[in-house]
């Protein structure tokens, strides 16, 4: 059994897979707490695995992606203590299944690498010879492009929905902290509605505009690129986009399973 771990800025996602499969058996999340020790994480993750019906003795492989360097050694230690083996870490040397054509491939975030690996696997399985754009909406919003030739050629990174709301509340005297609820309207009738309009519809309009610009720079026809979306906030935002995205909630974890399979073969 494979254990895949994705360390994000806000949370850490765990998933298990049967060896050779990219279909999730079980998954759970824990907060990405930099103050928590490896031993504390071991206890927490062991409890979550037990609750999911997973015996650590059945885990004979693991892979990890991280965008939080401060947690890398901690989580690697946790995986080693739980499984008896060090995880494969997404970075130079792993077999992604695609080429990275940016100025410095080492700069590409491990989560973006995993997302691209999953999308390339989907395109291959469905025999789709088309470019693809991958939207990931977590603490930050990213949109990255894959060409027809299965090359990641770059993308865009902007503050995410929660980061934007936090910044508006933190850096202004009168704007409150709010919960996102209700259908957004462009013309907000009160402060909360105006914040929701700006953040949700603003992100949706930005994403639509970026998709159009990406397709133009990729020199493909309008609507030719396949659009994939993942992340905590993507359903809320993409519901207000003019472009239609294929929602894949486990895209990053699926991609980790793909990379492990590619590297092990």
- Give the residue numbers annotated as catalytic, written as ranges: 111
Determine the longest span between alpha carbons in the chain, in angstroms: 58
Of 158, 151, 154, give the one whose Cα is nearest residue 231: 158
**DSSP one-letter string for 116-161:** HHHHHHHHHHTT--S-EEEEEESSEEEEEEE-TTSEEEEEEEEE-H
132-137 and 99-100 as β-strands: parallel, antiparallel, unpaired?
unpaired
Residue 120 CA: distances (Å) to CA of 109, 126, 148, 238, 263: 17, 10, 10, 22, 15
């Amino acid at each position: 059994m494979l254990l895949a771990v994705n360390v994000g800025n806000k949370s850490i996602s765990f998933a298990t897979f049967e060896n050779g499969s990219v279909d999730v058996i079980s998954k759970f999340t824990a907060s990405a707490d930099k103050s928590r020790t490896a031993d504390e994480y071991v206890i927490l993750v062991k409890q979550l695995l037990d609750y999911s019906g997973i015996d650590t003795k059945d885990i004979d492989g693991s892979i990890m992606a991280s965008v939080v360097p401060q947690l890398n050694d901690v989580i690697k230690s946790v995986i080693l203590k739980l499984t008896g083996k060090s995880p494969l870490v997404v970075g130079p040397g792993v077999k992604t299944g695609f080429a990275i054509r940016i100025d410095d491939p080492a700069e590409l975030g491990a989560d973006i690498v995993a997302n691209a690996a999953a999308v390339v696997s989907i395109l291959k399985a469905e025999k789709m010879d088309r470019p693809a754009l991958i939207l990931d909406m977590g603490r930050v919003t990213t949109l990255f492009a894959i060409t027809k030739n299965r090359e990641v050629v770059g993308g865009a990174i902007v503050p995410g929905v929660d980061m934007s709301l936090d910044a508006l509340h933190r850096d202004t005297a009168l704007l409150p902290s709010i919960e996102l609820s209700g259908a957004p309207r462009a013309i907000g009738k009160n402060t909360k509605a105006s914040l929701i309009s700006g953040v949700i519809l603003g992100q949706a309009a930005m994403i639509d505009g970026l998709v159009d610009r990406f397709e133009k720079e990729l020199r493909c026809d309008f609507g030719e690129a396949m659009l994939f979306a993942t992340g905590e906030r993507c359903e809320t935002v993409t519901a207000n986009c003019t472009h239609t995205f294929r929602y894949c909630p486990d895209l990053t974890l699926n991609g980790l399973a793909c990379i492990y399979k590619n590297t092990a073969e």
